[in-house]
Amino acid sequence: MAFFIRRKDAPRPADYCDMDTERNVKILLVEDSRPILRENEGALLRAGYEVICAEDGESALKMAADLKPDLVLLDMILPKVSGPEVLRRLKSDAKTAQIPVVVVSSLTERNREKLLELGAEEYLEKGLLMPRRGVNLLPKALEAVIRRINRKRGATLSEVPLHR
């Protein structure tokens, strides 16, 4: 499964006729802190992504299965079902196993390898993405991650929303 990320105003390439490539990338943002959730949601929307939000692990699992996002941004410390358990369940369920999961957490970098072994595509540390008030580097960091996912999955089109 490859997903193609296109700017809203990007011209459609002639060699693609699947209408599904025209839509924006749908991201499931899973975060229990409302201020962080709203900040990241706003930054992603401004960058051109479609965003759906879950504030706990249980809701995230249901939304992933029902709404089939293109990508999940997953916090690790969540109510109801923990982030590592959400990751494990997403990767073990045939309906959601192919959805790329990027962990966005305040846990230290030393957790990165374990999370990648569990099936995460990438680990991004919250403190580095929001270094100070009013600065959100998540869309820019996501551009590189999505390009890498597209290359890994054999996609030939990897336009991402431009960071503004």
Domains belonging to the chain, first-starting first, are: 25-152 (3.40.50.2300)
Average pLDDT, the chain: 80
Mean pLDDT on 73-84: 95
**Rg value, the chain, Cα:** 15
Residue 1 has pLDDT above 50, yes or no: no
How large a percentage of the chain has pLDDT more than 90? 54
Structure tokens at 24: 């924006």
Q: Which residue has the higher pLDDT, 60 or 108?
A: 60
pTM, two decimal places: 0.79
Mean pLDDT on 141-155: 83
Residue 23: what pLDDT? Answer: 55
Residue 12: what pLDDT? Answer: 33
Largest CA distance in the chain: 46
Angle between helices 138-152 and 34-46 (to 10 degrees): 70
Starting at the edge strand that comes first in sequence, how are the strands of the sheet with 71-74 ordered?
50-54, 26-30, 71-74, 101-105, 122-125
Residue 96: what pLDDT? Answer: 96
Contact 153, 133 (CB under 8 A): no
Contact 71, 102 (CB under 8 A): yes
Q: What gap in Å lies between CA 27 and CA 49, rounded to an integer?
A: 7
